[in-house]
Amino acid sequence: MKCNVCSHSCNLSEGKVGLCRVRTVNDDGTFPSNYGRVTSMALDPIEKKPIYMYKPGSMILSIGSYGCNMSCPFCQNNSISQVGEECGYRIMTPEMIASYAKELSIEDGNIGVAFTYNEPLIGYEFVRDTAMLICEMGLSNVLVSNGQASLDVLEEIIPYIHAMNIDLKAFSEDAYKRMGGDLTLTKDWIRSAASRTHLELTTLIVPGFNDDYDMMREEINWIASIDRSIPLHITRFFPTYRYTDVSPTSISLMHEFEQMAREHLDNVFLGNV
């Protein structure tokens, strides 16, 4: 059976998983084998997502599972994103998470749930089911994603998402192919989400990969053509995963890109500097 959750369109058979290490199949269709399997949970400042312009100063219950439908060689969460069910996890139902989020809202000022750490949308059913309960409680849902799920998935979840951060990893189809992704799909996600929820974007500047002036200028101009008020987080790379021999991003380059972005965008933020 073909999985239509992302652009890989993996052909699945029972007992096997797709490239994301999560999607599998039974007689009823495809489903996420990591449903309710939580590997990471923390009460974080919302700015850590990063979301700077939706309820700033708030805390949010952040949860993640395992797996991803991209294979970025500089992944900062590779210990959970680039593995499958061999990763340690605990089972939590949407009801359990919603109850915990409500408890934290009373005790610690938690505003809701952020789906983050690995790629949440390879298991979008869990995001949808949990987010619906969070909405019923009057709390907020935040999604941190690579924007590599199908637009049908976007339609399923966006009625319940109050804020979103999308990783715009590079502005080159070739670069996206090297990461196992599709730039056109991410751009379509951004266009669709921009007018329907609070949206912020993040670009990690990786030396030798996407630190090109022309590429960055093209990205900035494209974002501005949608809405110059969309916040852009330009984030500094540090050696990790398969890029341990690559130097951290030059701070001077970070400031040059910041200045370039500020000429066309109203809200630009530097990260890890």
pLDDT for the residue numbered 27: 80
Helix residue ranges per DSSP H, 163-250? 173-178, 183-194, 213-226
Positive or negative, the CA dihedral 144, 180, 1, 24 is: negative
pLDDT for the residue numbered 156: 96
pLDDT in tens for each of the 273 residues of the chain? 999 999 999 999 888 999 999 999 988 889 999 999 999 999 999 999 999 999 999 999 999 999 999 999 999 999 999 999 998 999 999 999 999 999 999 999 999 999 999 999 999 999 999 999 999 999 999 999 999 999 999 999 999 999 999 999 999 999 999 999 999 999 999 999 999 999 999 999 999 999 999 999 999 999 999 999 999 999 999 999 999 999 999 999 999 999 999 999 999 999 999
pLDDT for the residue numbered 263: 98
pLDDT for the residue numbered 26: 85
pLDDT for the residue numbered 79: 95
The whole-model pTM stands at 0.96
For residues 149 and 124, the answer to whether their CB atoms sit within 8 Å is yes
- Look up tokens 């919302």; give the residue: 46
Helix residue ranges per DSSP H, 38-89? 78-81
CA distance 236 to 262: 17
For residues 1 and 117, the answer to whether their CB atoms sit within 8 Å is no
Which has the closest alpha carbon to 148: 19, 15, 17?
19
pLDDT for the residue numbered 28: 81
Q: Which two tokens stand for residue 179?
A: 């990461």
